Amino acid sequence: TDTLTLLGLESSCDDTAAAVVRHTPGELPQILSSVVAGQAELHADFGGVVPEIAARAHAEKLDICVEQALLQANLLLKDLDGIAVTAGPGLIGGVVAGVMCAKGLAAGSGLPLIGVNHLAGHALTPRLTDQASFPYLMLLVSGGHCQFLIAKGPEAFQRLGGTIDDAPGEAFDKTAKLLGLPQPGGPSVEAEARQGDPQRFRFPRPLLDRPGCDMSFSGLKTALLRQRDRLIAEHVGLRRRDRADLCAGFQAAVADVLAEKSRRALAEYLTLKPSAPILAVAGGVAANMTIRSALETVCTQAGAAFLAPPLALCTDNAAMIAWAGIERMRAGARDDMTLQARPRWPL
Ligand code: KG4
Ligand code: ZN
């Protein structure tokens, strides 16, 4: 049969992950296991991911994640058809650890080795979860990424635009830090914003006056800092109410920018005349309900379907890497021991 069962490895940021995915043409892909070991507590005291600490933790945890993924799938290495691994982009120490681990497994088992671009992993997830057919529009929004892509094939992505400075997740994290809220900032800022008034403070909507799909989020942080310091000077400290209103104003600005740029990206994508137009999201920021509903509205107005994979598959995981490996293998791709870890690797 044409059934393919792949092990996937992911170690490009601060999650170590291994997963097994099986696919038979004409049937739904099956995630047989998906193990994710996070490192949040290791980096908590540093206000960001420390590359050296991340690399060591990946090297320590990868083999355990692989063992668990195989155990949960109830499979041995010999039952697999290949090993897929994130070969970039990302923090080089972690990517090297993953690629070395995958090369060892491939050399020891004789299985094919497939290098996967981490962004392609995110961008192909709508096909793993919802059988999305090409071409579809993707918005990747995470702590490290923010871009619009038209997915035209397993290895064919057209970039429409993206952030020229911070990623939105990074902006949420910095906002939380400036307001003394816990990390990761996304969920805590969203929780505060629920009690707040988004209209009270004025936040800029950067780059909306310029054509195209590029975005900018670093100005929001500056605006927030200025309002915060003015409030602290006035009241000798931040009142609960002020903090909630600042979070709500900031979040509304991010949602507005993402919604308006999505409207433009959709217009460009619709000129391809897809038979069933789709806007799919991936990345941790896609968990935000205000942002989700803003994007949903834009899709309804444009006559496109809105796809948001389950959160565990929106954030970093290895099932998306195994799946992207299956798609690459079906397209005839193979790598070998010359596979290189690439810190930078645009799609
Ligand atoms: O995709 P992800 O898990 O990791 C990468 O950055 O690759 O995304 C994490 C980011 C963090 O910056 C986090 O603050 C943000 O996603 N995030 C959110 C929410 N949940 C997570 N941002 C806004 N609202 C949320 N509910
Ligand atoms: Zn990612």
Q: Write the pLDDT tens digit of every residue in 192-248.
A: 999 999 999 999 999 998 899 999 999 999 999 999 999 999 988 899 999 999 999
Q: What does the alpha-carbon distance between residue 313 and residue 315 come to, in Å, rounded to a whole number? A: 6
User: Residue 115's domain is classified under what CATH number?
Assistant: 3.30.420.40
Tell me what ipTM this predicted complex has.
0.98
Residue 47 pLDDT > 80, yes or no?
no
In this structure, the dihedral spanned by the alpha carbons of residues 335, 341, 343 and 346, taken in order and rounded to 10 degrees, is 0
Is there a binding annotation on residue 36? no
Answer yes or no: is 339 within a domain.
no
Torsion of CA 161, 185, 234, 203, to 10 degrees: 20
Q: Does one domain contain both 103 and 160?
A: no
Q: Is the pLDDT of residue 68 over 90?
A: yes
Pairing mode of beta strands 146-153, 4-10: unpaired
Distance from the CA of 81 to the center of ligand 1, in angstroms?
33
Domain co-membership, 52 together with 86: yes
Q: Is residue 309 in contact with ligand 1, taking CB distance under 6 Å?
A: no
Which residue range is the domain that position 17 belongs to? Answer: 4-130+316-330
Is residue 284 in contact with ligand 1, taking CB distance under 6 Å?
A: yes
Assigned domain for 118 exists: yes
**144 marked as part of a ligand binding site:** yes
Report whether 339 belongs to an annotated binding site: no
Entry pTM: 0.93
Judge if 8 and 74 occupy the same domain: yes
CA of residue 237 to ligand 1 center, whole Å: 28
Q: Which residue, chain included where needed, has tokens 């999505």? A: 262
87 and 114 housed in the same domain: yes
Nearest CA to ligand 1 atom 19: 186
According to the model, what pLDDT value does residue 1 have?
Answer: 67
